[in-house]
Amino acid sequence: MTAMSASAEALLARAVAAAPTLQAIAKDFQAQIAQGLAGEGGSLKMLRTFTRQPSGRERGRVVVVDWGGTKARAGLVELAGGGSVRIVTEEALTFPEAMKREAPEPVFDLIAGVVGRVARAERVDAAPLAFVYSYPARLERIDRAVALASTKGWRLQGLVGRDVAAMLTAALGRAGLARIAVAAVANDTVAALILQSYRARGSDAAARPADIGLILGTGTNLAADLGPAGIRNLESGNFDGVGAVETPYDVALDRELDEPPPGAQRFEKMVSGHYLGEILRRALADLGARTGWFPWGSTSVIAAPFAFDSAYLSRIADDRTAALDDVDALLRSLGIESTRQERHGLRALGAAIARRAARLVAAAFLGTLRFVDPRLDDRRTIAVDGSLWGGYPGFEGLVRAALVELLGRERADRVEIAFVKDSTSAGAAVIAAVAAAQRSEGCSSA
């Protein structure tokens, strides 16, 4: 490593997240799970989900809506039992940036519009709909979800306190789709968890269901099956026990953003795809101004907030050439001339930020696993999905390495991590089918 990158890394020393620090973070995470469940506050919301583990035999045709970012999708999913799922069709839409701060109705109308296109193309007149709403919401029933403050840059006027299922139902009515009925609302983390369980149990009825669902994409969050407390949506992106590994860049980012406001989503702001590029951009701008390294401050990718895409981190990490030729090509396309030394420095900074994110994820896993099974006596399964997990080279290896450090090899080996790519729509369909079974049994569980 060059002298420059070594010093740059030294600046991020707090981002190293040594094992004892991670152990303390995991302990705090575990304590806050208990606190949240007991209704004693804390930063983990521990929201109820009103679903239960699937049998693997669920069947049916379900219309799905997946809204969790700048894009939303509608689709049609077929469950054939035996753990099998088929996405019959899917259509996406992109919301204009300005819509994120306006009234919610136009957003729901756009979503209903895509549902209409899917329904017409597939000749679906009446069907249950599963709505994946990947923002904080307090469920009161499987088909009633009261919006809490949004994340990932959204702040729709007057949304907080309203039932998003009812709002989607109203929009479907306005679009002439009244026979497509919202049957379930779920978080994307819950969809990942449930899909993994459905697949595992579908091929082996005695298989263990998944214990945890993680999404690591634009945002991040965990769901977990907490036994008697049911399957909960932790909203772990809001976890606040991260002070020990914050750099000055994280502190400034948290303070300067208005959405989510300072103090909210602190874990997410250090871990998820919406933020990693921005942390690196801030580090580069600061180092450029203070040290003369990375003299790129006038280029828009360094000067403009959120201009440094997190996907660049993955591309930079992927370049294994001695002179970092692809990093060079990337920087040139962004209007930046760089030296080989600077490119290595940039790569080291990006790697440190991604490694810290992976280690924080491992600490959150550990806190949750210990809550469920304090000595980790049993085998456990974590279902994961999301663009950062799938896209950053070697991310899973970084999380695994941290788990081995924290738990020892033997216990870490009892934790299976299953990557359930594109789990949202498929998982949501299973949740709707489970809800239908629950309804016909005339009961509901937490």
The residues binding ligand BGC (CB under 6 A) are 68, 134-136, 151-152, 187-189, 215, 217, 219-221, 235, 237, 268
Instruction: Give least dist CB 216 to ligand BGC, A.
Output: 8
* C-alpha to C-alpha distance for 12 and 357, rounded to whole angstroms: 13
* C-alpha to C-alpha distance for 90 and 118, rounded to whole angstroms: 7
Instruction: Give least dist CB 272 to ligand BGC, A.
Output: 7
**Distances from the Cα of 110 to the Cα of 16, 135, 285, 389, angstroms:** 43, 18, 38, 29
258's CB contacts (< 8 A; 6+ apart) are: none
Cβ closest to ligand BGC, residue 269 vs residue 343: 269
Cβ closest to ligand BGC, residue 267 vs residue 371: 267
Cβ closest to ligand BGC, residue 184 vs residue 351: 184
Instruction: Give least dist CB 135 to ligand BGC, A.
Output: 5
The three-class DSSP label of residue 342 is helix
**CA dihedral for 169, 173, 175, 178, sign (positive or negative):** positive
Count of CA atoms in the C-beta half-sphere (13 A) of 446:
13
Cβ closest to ligand BGC, residue 215 vs residue 327: 215
Instruction: Give least dist CB 148 to ligand BGC, A.
Output: 9
* C-alpha to C-alpha distance for 26 and 32, rounded to whole angstroms: 10
Cβ closest to ligand BGC, residue 260 vs residue 367: 260
Instruction: Give least dist CB 349 to ligand BGC, A.
Output: 25
Instruction: Give least dist CB 191 to ligand BGC, A.
Output: 9
Instruction: Give least dist CB 150 to ligand BGC, A.
Output: 8
Q: Which residue is nearest to ligand BGC (CB)?
A: 219
Cβ closest to ligand BGC, residue 68 vs residue 128: 68
Count of CA atoms in the C-beta half-sphere (13 A) of 407:
27
Instruction: Give least dist CB 196 to ligand BGC, A.
Output: 16
* C-alpha to C-alpha distance for 21 and 42, rounded to whole angstroms: 20
Instruction: Give least dist CB 80 to ligand BGC, A.
Output: 27
Instruction: Give least dist CB 20 to ligand BGC, A.
Output: 28
Q: Give the closest residue to 15 by CA, choosing from 233, 259, 271.
A: 271
Cβ closest to ligand BGC, residue 5 vs residue 233: 233
Cβ closest to ligand BGC, residue 131 vs residue 135: 135
Q: Are 135 and 151 in contact (CB under 8 A)?
A: yes
Cβ closest to ligand BGC, residue 5 vs residue 265: 265
220-225: strand order across its sheet: 47-48, 231-233, 220-225, 212-216, 380-385, 415-419
Cβ closest to ligand BGC, residue 5 vs residue 150: 150
Query: Strand pairing of 415-419 and 380-385?
Result: parallel
Using alpha carbons only, give the angle 288, 256, 274 rounded to the nearest 5 degrees.
Answer: 80
Helical H segments across 304-374, by residue range: 310-318, 325-333, 340-372
**CA dihedral for 21, 23, 24, 30, sign (positive or negative):** positive
Name the residue type at position 216.
L
